[in-house]
Structure 1
């Protein structure tokens, strides 16, 4: 019966894990409750301390768990800990209960203990803090690696990191050698996030190659130098080798930097996000467009493309999906973009489950809007933007939305570059009477000639009558 009571208490305390104040009250009831609640509090809340005094208390507890050898090493290198060490033995091994600290957490500890000393002593203290957590934390699931410390070489690294599921790496800080050592330990990542990638790194290639079931991989490359173009062959090759397991790809500014031939290997891809805002030569963009056009992702569910014009290729890609695509976001800055209507037609013909669509609409593309609305009965959020100077299609677009919008469509944003007559605006909002339009907005630059005070008055009227929930106007 006593065991049953403890099991019930555990369930109750876990339900309260988001209520720090209540958990703290439970902590004070008796020893049994204390031993059940402390792991929950220390597992969730230690790094969310804002108050300076509370931070100092937390850090005193952590520093007090440094091993005698670490204390001796720091003392011999003139790192003073005397004011932070607690005199009484600790009741719990608090460090083992903590979520593994991020670089900011470790920096905060060092700043308080070492009074913002940025000499070599800081690096030594950082080293010993990481050693402490690696020796005490078992089988952590997430790590954000933003330190030059060789984490994978510290005692206990095998037990600490072998079960990692998610790893975020700052390539400006973490060395290739350290990544190579981590590859020997960490082989079961589900998610790998690589920030500030700027060149082929053998250690990173080894780490990716070592993974047995990598599902999601992200690259953010903001500092790539033009002279390094074409030097990323190994990255492209290793991505191709892992293509059959990866179902989520995110890349920023890799178009024109590496060959995208690996895309054809991503046969199980479910989410594709590519943002490209660096200016590269047209032949580099064409290479990406060619590989995108021949790729086939039958299970694709989410597609986000920004900065690179490829409407024709996107349409070809969408046509080869098998009806599971539910989210499409396209963002361009190229005023010369062509084939915008092909994307809308491809979605209308192949995406019955589409729920969110943000794309561009030209004067010749209106013929595809009605089939889109009629065939995509789950569409709930629609954003239509204007890449062209022509502004005469506003009324015709609103009339199509008035007559053909599915019942699910309750969130609409349109370009501010189109003209809308008062009558078409009123007809459109009347069509939503009885089925609330949760949000209506006008995007981009709103021309005064296109949207007047009278338009605003009409919108305010329908807001007051409960037809519109929210607007940016």
Structure 2
């Protein structure tokens, strides 16, 4: 007789299989496997990128899940949206939801209904927001406890039209919210209502656009959190985080991760306030700019500040003066396990400083010259993973692979190559020579090889002969994993 594992054991196993393809295959095993898989898949219905899914089918599924009174309301207003089946749902799918994205609901509804003619007395805007509010109400009233909420003010969302915070059941649903991603320009009433419900937000992402003012209700919401650990501040188009800094000081002892991001912003933004958070374990600074100016000029005030628990740093070279970064690493490099320093202004001496001041690095991303890559390998003996940005005038692929095979330390097992603008020039015989050398290393760890490239750039996986070699050494156990990731070219629309 076949043995059925207990439900709690299957739950534990399925949690480790949290990928769409595997979980979908388990839907057809039996009812118990189906229920466990559905619960995990619906936990974050918005997990998959919009470009990878059928928006029309998503809307059909969401409407099918609506309670009867919501469906009747839509029909009463002349709104007809087909559903996958007329049969009742096997499960109460929204009850499994732990993540709610207001923005993706708005995007799906607005995008799918954009070209569908009006069949009622409602305007297109009123029709769309009636559907949006009914879908949001379904999640708020039926989900037992949301953990993550995303609500940005963008072209798809008019916040004043969305009143989900006042729906019956919102208090119970949002009481345990631990992640909030929001705009600073949302109505103050939203922040006021949320501040009465949510006091245990651990991760907060704030997006600022065209403003440098925060409602007092938002500042109060931030101050009332009991254990804020992760913070991301993102600005664009004249946004500024200066006004919010005093409200963050209460969390100087609890904050462990901080990400400051500026995109196409002509403001000079402060970063010296980071010194307030002495327990930071991760600091990430990022920006994209067409204004040709340093956006974080006061980073110099951080160069001699010590963060005793800092383990990860990511910073673009162009954001400040190189000497400030070098001094910062001299004071904080000894505990760093992860480091990402990239930019157009590659500096050989900065990499040599990293080799000197960051002895226990495990993960490293930057642009290298060949001799500094060897120095990094020789100095950082705990290095496990490295990301190499291919700039044609610095490194050749063949030379990189030879250096990795001959000089990488014994713990090293993962190489990520990032192509920007140059096509691959690696020959199949060079690739095979690398795998033969890797096989003969003292360390017998299998290699993880990841390629990140723009859609318009050819890398080694575009050559079938290269792929035959990769399959060969994957079968031999020399390669543990090979993966290609595509990103858009900067000059593409």
TM-score, normalised to structure 1, is 0.68
**Where does residue 168 of structure 2 map in the other structure?**
155
> How far apart are 1:190 and its partner, in Å?
1.3
1:44 matches 2:38: no
Quick one: distance in 2 between partners of 1:106 and 1:408? 47
Pick the aligned partner of 1:355 from 358, 362, 368.
362
Native 8 Å contact 1:240 1:262 kept in 2: no
Q: State the alpha-carbon separation in 2 of the partners of residues 383 and 152 from structure 1.
A: 43
Equivalent position of 1:450 in the other structure: none
Select 1:181's aligned residue among 186, 189, 193: 193
Q: Is 1:12 equivalent to 2:10 in the alignment?
A: yes
Does the 8 Å contact 1:44/1:99 carry over to 2? Answer: no
Q: What are the superposed Cα offsets for residues 320-363 of structure 1, whole Å, 9 maximum, x if unpaired?
A: 237331221112224xx76x514532x33332321222335579
Check 1:116–1:191 CA distance in 2 against 1; reply closer, same or farther (3 A cut).
farther
Match of 1:406 among 396, 405, 409: 409
Secondary structure at the counterpart of residue 246 of structure 1 = coil
Deviations 1:232-287 (A, max 9, x none): 43222233332321111112217954322311012111111111222568685432
Q: Distance in 2 between matches of 1:89 and 1:409?
A: 53
- 1:142 Cα deviation (Å)? 1.3
Q: In structure 2, do the counterparts of structure 1 residues 252 and 37 end up closer, same or farther at CA, with 3 Å as the change threshold? A: same
Which residue of 56, 60, 71 maps to 1:56?
60
Among 282, 297, 301, the residue aligned to 1:286:
297
Task: Give the unaligned 5+ runs of structure 2.
Answer: 16-21, 47-52, 119-123, 423-430, 455-462, 485-493
CA contact (8 A) 1:130 1:151 kept: yes
Match of residue 219 from structure 2: 205
CA spacing shift, 1:128–1:319, aligned 2, 3 Å:
same
**After the TM superposition, which residues 163-178 of structure 1 pair with which residues of structure 2 at under 5 Å, given as runs?**
163-171=176-184, 174-178=186-190
Please, which of 130, 143, 146 is the counterpart of residue 140 of structure 1? 146
CA contact (8 A) 1:39 1:97 kept: no
Aligned positions of 1:374-389 closer than 5 A = 374-382=378-386
**Within 5 A, what are the aligned runs for 1:23-422?**
23-27=27-31, 38=35, 41-42=38-39, 44-45=41-42, 47=45, 56=60, 59-64=63-68, 66=70, 78-80=77-79, 93-103=92-102, 104-105=104-105, 108=108, 117=118, 118-146=124-152, 147=157, 148=159, 149-171=162-184, 174-199=186-211, 200-202=213-215, 203-222=217-236, 224-225=237-238, 232-253=241-262, 256-278=267-289, 285-287=296-298, 289-306=299-316, 307-321=318-332, 323-334=334-345, 340-345=348-353, 347-360=354-367, 372-382=376-386, 405-409=408-412, 411=415
Distance 1:55 1:342, change over 3 A: closer
Deviation at 1:295, TM superposition (A): 2.8
The alpha carbon displacement at 1:159 in A equals 0.8
* Deviation, structure 1 residue 377: 0.7
What 5-or-longer segments of structure 1 have no aligned partner?
A: 28-32, 417-424, 445-455
- The structure with the larger Rg is 1
Does the 8 Å contact 2:194/2:221 carry over to 1?
yes
CA–CA distance in 1 between the matches of 2:90 and 2:433? Answer: 71
The size of the alignment, in residue pairs, is 422
SS in 2 for 1:348: helix
